[in-house]
Amino acid sequence: MIAPDGFRNIPYNIPMTNRTVLITGGSRGIGASIAREFAAAGDRIAIHYVSSSQDAQAVADSLAGGGHITVSADLRDPNAIRVMVDGVAQEFGKIDVLINNAGVFFDHPIETSTYEDWQKAWTDTLGVNLIGAANVTWCALQHMPKHGTSRIVNIGSRGAFRGEPISPAYGASKAAIVAFGQSIAKALAPMHIGVTTLAPGFVDTEMAARLLDGPEGEGIRAQSPFNRVALPEELAKAVYFLASPDSEWASGAVLDFNGASYLRM
């Protein structure tokens, strides 16, 4: 069977190991699990963090293999992003995979927030979750090989579809990251760069511990018919597939990953 002209020269036999991977928000939780999953397969990891260099270094030290690095940048600062991403590329020589994982969540219900708190929540949330991710992506693209194995995976949320009444800026930012990912999936397809989004529900991380360990925990787990929430390691395995060379035809897709806690057409 003859492949279409656009795919004839793609070297699908390039091994997945020894790739270079930049993970934003990689110092804990989902990002740390993603780092461990990729490192176990032989990839070199750049762990981005904002403020906790000790946490980032602890994750780096826990990774299989060698050559891993930690890098810092405030994702609300476009210049800091460019310096950070260029530094990763200088150290690794290229960036094969970008995982836009970093995100913030602030309570700011419209009916009770002050106008000042409302503005700050929107500015900071969109600044990190959307604009920051877009800027990291632009900068990383300048260093991505165009041979068919480069991948971008955005971490979205089921909140993009079901709504987030306590944090509307978060819901809006995750809906926007879906649209952003689909837009650049079309734009980057001629370069054979695949772009996908993973949309999880609740995940058992430090960030969610306050809710999961509190009186709301039972109800949160009951949102899924499996009566539990996701483990970070489960997300990491899904991200690993979405970043694989075999995932090109999934480009533009959004993978709901919420244990049937929220179903949509």
- Give the separation between CA 206 and CA 135, rounded to whole angstroms: 27
Which residue is associated with the tokens 């795919």?
A: 7
115, 170, 240, 262: the catalytic one is 170
Dihedral Cα 39, 42, 48, 54, nearest 10 deg: 50
How far is the CA of 183 from the CAs of 138, 186, 196, 217, in angstroms? Answer: 13, 6, 11, 36
Q: Is 240 tagged catalytic?
A: no
Dihedral Cα 186, 249, 229, 232, nearest 10 deg: -90
* Extended strands (E) in 97-229: 97-100, 151-155, 194-200
Residues taking part in catalysis: 170
